[in-house]
Amino acid sequence: MLSFALLGVSNTVRADAVSQSSYNLTQGVTQISQDVYELHMLIFYICVAIAVVVFGVMFYSIFAHRKSRGAVPANFHESTKVEVIWTVIPVLILIGMAIPATKTLIAMEDTSQSDLTVKITGSQWKWHYSYFGEDVEFFSLLSTKNEQISGDEPKGEHYLLEVDKPLVLPIGQKVRFLLTSDDVIHSWWIPDFAVKKDTIPGFINEAWTRIDKPGIYRGQCTELCGVNHGFMPIVVHAVEPEEFDVWLAEQKELAKQAEQQQAAALEKTLSMDELMTLGEKVYLERCAVCHQANGEGLAGVFPALKNSPIALGDIGAHIDVVVYGAQGTAMQAFENQITAEEIAAVVTYERNAWGNDTGDTVQAKDVSDRAAQ
Ligand code: HEC
Ligand SMILES: [Cu+2]
């Protein structure tokens, strides 16, 4: 493949036989990604041509003018002609590369006249997507099973590149991204779109894309953001605009139903069993990445909840930590991430799992009462 690439015939070969070379950049599915790819190839070939000329002259000179042939070095200094030539040629080459590069960069930065705006917020270790003016928002978390990560089960096809809720985008429309972060710097990267932007707490960065082809596109966080940096993948589901509208309407309906369910949950009293079952599920999905499935945390980084004074002590204080988080630490406020019922269940779980046998149950109403204070 590499030798083909050097001969310059690989473009057609690749397009027909192998759609992606594992050695090269992806051509992606947007105009920008195509431009970036072509820019990369152009500059690559210029470099190859320079290398051929420079090394050609060098090796020829070494060979043809070697000492054993009796070559005598020429003795010239301060040749204005030579100096002008070796300045002008590189300058021309640089200008020739700068023009297309600048054009592409400017196009990448131009977020004007977008059809849709999505706010992307990174946090340890998940993505939060919010569609502007649409009242639709959700979190997107890694969905690879723990058993695959620990090696107890064979790894799936999209190991560490799969999420519970993908970002859904319409094809053929200009989508503007506003990117920020809740904690540390992350970076949102989808190679097929040639979009890669840092998400920085307190800053809003912009990017955009217009996807040409429906499909499922995968990417990752590309800014080292803590121990689970490798566990916050990105999945984008690009669909026809009509399909997107249907999806959007569905999300709004689901949000409405969830709101009603949450209101109803406040009236309900769940049994210990129900709370423990739901609590374990929430704990494994949301908390175990830091506090560990066995509740023992990671010494010096994430506190143990097993035998922890908070999990065994005052219920109200325990609820508060989960609802409001702990400012300035990795412990986030879960108030807007999970429902009151889920917080009640996970707190109950923490107070009764791993030998924390307090016997306490916490109900959704207890949580919403604390949150309302
Ligand atoms: C991103 C990592 C992370 C996640 C995810 C996380 N926590 Fe924490 N948690 C922490 C850290 C760090 C602290 C210590 C905060 C401090 O220093 O006050 C903490 C503290 C706590 C405490 C107080 C314990 C103590 O002894 O100080 C409780 C209770 C708690 N977390 C519950 C939860 C629950 C419930 C979830 C899931 C819904 C959760 N945490 C998810 C990192 C995390
Ligand atoms: Cu990250």
* Residues 336, 127: Cα–Cα separation, whole Å: 14
- pLDDT level of residue 206 (50, 70, 90 thresholds): very high
Pocket flag, ligand 1, residue 319 (CB < 6 Å): no
pLDDT, position 5? 38
* Tens-place pLDDT, residues 77-102: 888 888 999 899 999 999 999 999 99
Q: How far is the CA of 220 from the centre of ligand 1 (A)?
A: 25
Pocket flag, ligand 1, residue 329 (CB < 6 Å): yes
> Which residue's alpha carbon is nearest to atom 17 within ligand 1?
329
* Tens-place pLDDT, residues 293-335: 999 998 888 999 999 999 999 999 999 999 999 888 889 899 8
Average pLDDT, the chain: 89
* Residues 371, 344: Cα–Cα separation, whole Å: 12
* Residues 212, 30: Cα–Cα separation, whole Å: 6
Of 145, 133, 86, 98, the closest CA to residue 284 belongs to 145
* Tens-place pLDDT, residues 32-88: 999 999 999 999 999 999 999 999 999 999 999 998 988 888 877 888 888 999 899
> Which residue's alpha carbon is nearest to atom 5 within ligand 1?
287
Q: Which atom belonging to ligand 1 lies closest to the Cα atom of 301? A: 12
* Residues 200, 186: Cα–Cα separation, whole Å: 7
Site to probe by mutation for ligand 1, drawn from 229, 231, 282, 290 as the one with most ligand atoms within 8 Å of Cβ, is: 290
Q: How far is the CA of 11 from the centre of ligand 2 (A)?
A: 34
* Tens-place pLDDT, residues 104-124: 999 999 999 999 999 999 998
**281-318: string of b/e by CB count within 10 Å (b at 16+)?**
ebbebbbebbbeeebbbeeeebbbbbebebbbeebeeb
* Residues 58, 47: Cα–Cα separation, whole Å: 16
Pocket flag, ligand 1, residue 330 (CB < 6 Å): yes
- Mean pLDDT, to the nearest integer, of 356-362? 91
Of 321, 308, 320, 322, the closest CA to residue 351 belongs to 308
- Show the tokens assigned to 273: 């069993």
On whether the CB atoms of residues 181 and 123 are closer than 8 A, the answer is: yes
Q: How much is the pTM?
A: 0.76
Q: Which atom belonging to ligand 1 lies closest to the Cα atom of 334? A: 38
Least distant ligand from the CA of 187 = 2
Site to probe by mutation for ligand 1, drawn from 315, 321, 358, 360 as the one with most ligand atoms within 8 Å of Cβ, is: 321
* Residues 290, 1: Cα–Cα separation, whole Å: 43
Q: Please say if the pLDDT value at position 270 is more than 60.
A: yes
pLDDT, position 75? 78
Pocket flag, ligand 1, residue 307 (CB < 6 Å): no
pLDDT, position 280? 95
pLDDT, position 147? 87
> Which residue's alpha carbon is nearest to atom 13 within ligand 1?
331
pLDDT, position 373? 64
> Which residue's alpha carbon is nearest to atom 1 within ligand 1?
330
Site to probe by mutation for ligand 1, drawn from 128, 229, 331 as the one with most ligand atoms within 8 Å of Cβ, is: 331
- Show the tokens assigned to 186: 């992350």
Pocket flag, ligand 1, residue 302 (CB < 6 Å): yes
pLDDT, position 1? 34
